A and B are shown apart, each in its own frame.
Chain A
């Protein structure tokens, strides 16, 4: 660690009086990193009423929880959150600060990084602590944060470091790490911090918050059926929805399908969309760009259907079907229904009873 800077911080997002699942995931990973270098792990909780669950990050691994609790911070807005976090970082000098790469984390972290003129690595798929030797300068650095990100194109991963400036900052997509076991016996401290809001902090006014009715979440999905460019259009996705209905899956899509406007962006799977980790991931007509693969690699089983025998998706698949999804998927649906009829001695229940978000 650079002199004067130490400790790992996790900015813990929250809603409904609980810290986000992604914050738990980050705390679990950060705990391991902190143990590796024998340092403290702190969580930062900002909002209104956060004191009531300030102990929660401790049970997921934090030694210390900084709380900033103020009615004026009820809704996240960029400016006040940036300033109070920057103020805290300048005083406490953490070595590492981690954020979840959700909409607010991606809004906040770069703002803080720019104000502190430090490095920020987006959408890390793994984090570790290790040594770095700068071959240009010959300088050696011990115990720096190793930030693993998918490199554009092909099956390559890059390890990024920020050797000179502090704090080292990174964002991580929700779903990347496991949620650690909750341990209510863990002990830690809660440190309430005073907030001093200044003029300009309330530049952005929140007029209204509207919840999304068709919010797509893959958190509880056991199976995900996803389509890409090969789905060819809205008809292709209707076919994939049929399959999803029959096997109780959520419907996902690659960036190509989103950009083509065949399905709403909420369904996007991969870096830039959601990271999924179902039991079974069925990729239909998806070529398998690295940014997609990184969002599905934690799936237990990957089945890939693609016309192109050279599609990179097959490199990461457990079961490979070289064929046209418009032929394969209907037959697959038929065979699943047929097998079910034999197994249960009756036909499947009305698939319309399960309403897939669309």
Chain B
């Protein structure tokens, strides 16, 4: 079975980025990682490889430094890694990105199962998976917590707001792995050794036969009109106190002074409803 894992390198969300005086982002210190859900998708691929046997190809689109993410993917257990990197791709929105990934997957030729995370921590759109599936003309199942393969079919458990669905579909198809599913394994030393020798292939727009008018800023239907700093109109009232006891008392007093009471809220759901406070 041929499994393709799509992954993106993102800034480490553990390090929050602040706006500098000149309005630019302080990204200097930001470390890059494999997008967490994409890493889970890779874990799911390795799991499938162990159960059913598979060749795993990790594909990423990004700047040259995204090669690090693919090296990590090789260390975890991917068999091949491909980075689509080209200045012409800069500024691609989700539609243009999906087109490029579809071109790369088509060039690869063989795929039974495509896996990626449900969304990234930076863009967070969750659109690339379904858009790639659409461009390839194959079915998709999004927000998957677990899946198994039986013959030519995938059976997957999809998580929604208030329910789960068990769905069955024939290969080839695309799965997006939900947040928190398939926690990634630690990379073994042997994997690191393998990865240091492994090759990350670099593909360009031309090598995947992509139409230049469909990639980058030119090929992206969405445009950024403006970026603005947000002003939040909040009280910004700092609570003081010599010790924590006083501090928390001061908070409750201050809240009460402004007509807000934590003390008045009952701990029974029914009582809250009866207060007539519920919306709609």
Q: A179 and B165: CB pair below 8 A?
A: no
Task: Find B121's partner among A208, A255, A280 (CB 8 Å cutoff).
Answer: A255
Per the CB 8 Å criterion, the residue count for chain B at the interface is 95
**Which of B70-78, B79-87, B249-257 forms contacts with chain A?**
B249-257
Q: B95 and A117: CB pair below 8 A?
A: yes
Cβ–Cβ < 8 Å partners of B164 in chain A: 209-212
Q: A155 and B222: CB pair below 8 A?
A: no
Cβ–Cβ < 8 Å partners of A349 in chain B: 267-268
Q: A204 and B168: CB pair below 8 A?
A: yes
Among residues of A, the one whose C-beta sits closest to the C-beta of B126 is A106
Q: A210 and B163: CB pair below 8 A?
A: yes
Q: A320 and B236: CB pair below 8 A?
A: yes
* A248 CB-CB contact with B under 8 Å: yes
Chain B: minimal CB distance from A275 (Å): 12
Q: A316 and B228: CB pair below 8 A?
A: no
Chain A: minimal CB distance from B156 (Å): 9
**Which of A1-9, A29-37, A48-56, A284-292 forms contacts with chain B?**
A284-292
Among residues of B, the one whose C-beta sits closest to the C-beta of A144 is B225
* B160 CB-CB contact with A under 8 Å: yes
Q: B265 and A110: CB pair below 8 A?
A: no
Q: Which of B212-254 contact A (CB under 8 A)?
A: 220-230, 232, 234-239, 244-245, 247-249, 251-252, 254
Q: Which of A297-314 contact B (CB under 8 A)?
A: 297, 301-303, 312, 314
Q: Once bound together, how far apart are the Cα atoms of A280 and B263, in whole Å?
A: 12
Q: Which of A329-345 contact B (CB under 8 A)?
A: 331-332, 334-336, 339-340, 343
Q: B16 and A153: CB pair below 8 A?
A: yes
Q: Once bound together, how far apart are the Cα atoms of A206 and B73, in whole Å?
A: 33
Q: B244 and A331: CB pair below 8 A?
A: yes
Q: A111 and B169: CB pair below 8 A?
A: no
Q: B223 and A206: CB pair below 8 A?
A: no
Q: Mark A87-114, 1 if CB is under 8 A from B, else 0.
A: 0000000000000001110110111011
Q: B134 and A152: CB pair below 8 A?
A: no
Chain A: minimal CB distance from B98 (Å): 6
Cβ–Cβ < 8 Å partners of B178 in chain A: 265
Cβ–Cβ < 8 Å partners of B19 in chain A: 153-156
Task: Find A261's partner among B130, B158, B162, B183 (CB 8 Å cutoff).
Answer: B183
* B170 CB-CB contact with A under 8 Å: yes
Instruction: Tell me which of B125, B168, B222, B277 has the highest count of chain A C-beta atoms within 10 A of its own C-beta.
Output: B222
Instruction: Tell me which of A78, A146, A223 has the highest count of chain B C-beta atoms within 10 A of its own C-beta.
Output: A78
* A232 CB-CB contact with B under 8 Å: no
Q: A317 and B236: CB pair below 8 A?
A: yes
Given the known inter-chain contacts A158-B227, A319-B237, please indicate yes or no for A103 contacting B159, CB distance below 8 A: yes
Q: B230 and A211: CB pair below 8 A?
A: no
Q: Which of B116-152 contact A (CB under 8 A)?
A: 119, 121-131, 133-135, 139-143
**Mind listing 28 A-B residue pairs with CB under 8 Å?**
A103-B161, A110-B126, A110-B128, A110-B130, A111-B134, A119-B220, A120-B125, A121-B222, A152-B123, A156-B230, A179-B280, A206-B167, A211-B164, A212-B162, A215-B161, A223-B265, A245-B267, A246-B267, A248-B266, A256-B13, A258-B179, A259-B13, A265-B178, A265-B179, A291-B124, A312-B18, A321-B247, A331-B244
